[in-house]
Amino acid sequence: MTALAFDIDIVIARPDRQIEARIASQDSLVALVGPSGRGKTSVLDAIAGLLRPERGHIAVGGTVLFDAAKGIDLRPEARGAGYVFQDSRLFPHLSVEQNLSFGMRYGSGRTPFAGAEECAELLGIAHLLHRRPRELSGGEIRRTAIARALLRAPRFLLLDEPTASLDDARRQDILRIVEEIRDRFALPILYVSHDRAEVERLAGMSVEL
C-alpha cells in the first residue's frame, strides 16, 4: 500500500482557541485553504516542528514526524521540511547566491533534486545571483526563497501563501513554478492559500480550515 503523502490529525492549543487540522491524502500537492486568522500558518509550523501540537500525529510520505501518544517528536532539522514562509525570510545581508548556498549548507543531508545552477535557471533567478534581497522585486524574493528551500533537498515542501501581495503577472510566474515543481519532483507539497482559483489549478485535494 502506498504511504499517504500527508497523514495529519492534530489539535493545536492557542490562547484564544483550538486549531484542528485533519489531512489524509496521497496527492502530491494538497492545499490548506480558508480566510486569514484561521490557523493555517500554525499548522505549517507544527508540521515543520516549530510548534508542538496539543495532541495527534503528523506523518509525511510514510515517515512519522510527531505522535503525541507514542512520544515521537522529531527536531525541526530532522524533519526535512523545505519551508517557504509568507515573508520569505531571506537573509538581507547576503546576496541571492549566498542565500542559495545557505540552503545547501544546512540541507537535510540528502542529495538535492537539482544543483544551484539548475535551480537558479528553473526559478528564473540566474541573472540575480549578485543582488541583495533589498534590490529584488516581490516575485524575485519569492522565487529565491523557493530555490533556497529546494536546495535543502527537502523531504517535502511547505508553501505559505507564496503569491500573496504579488501583481497578477508575478503571481502567474509563481504558480507556473509551483506546477513545474509538483510535476517534476516526487515531493509532497502542502500549499496554503485563500485563493480558490489557485487551489483549483494546483491541488489534487484541498482542506478547509
pTM over 0.95: no
State pLDDT tens for residues 63-108. Answer: 999 999 999 999 998 999 999 999 889 999 999 999 988 877 655 5
Q: Return the sign of the alpha-carbon dihedral for residues 130, 135, 140, 141.
A: positive
Contacts of 37 (CB under 8 A, 6+ apart): none
State pLDDT tens for residues 107-162. Answer: 555 666 667 788 888 889 999 999 999 999 999 999 999 999 988 889 999 999 99
For residue 58, the model assigns a pLDDT of 98
Specify whether domain 6-208 bears CATH 3.40.50.300: yes
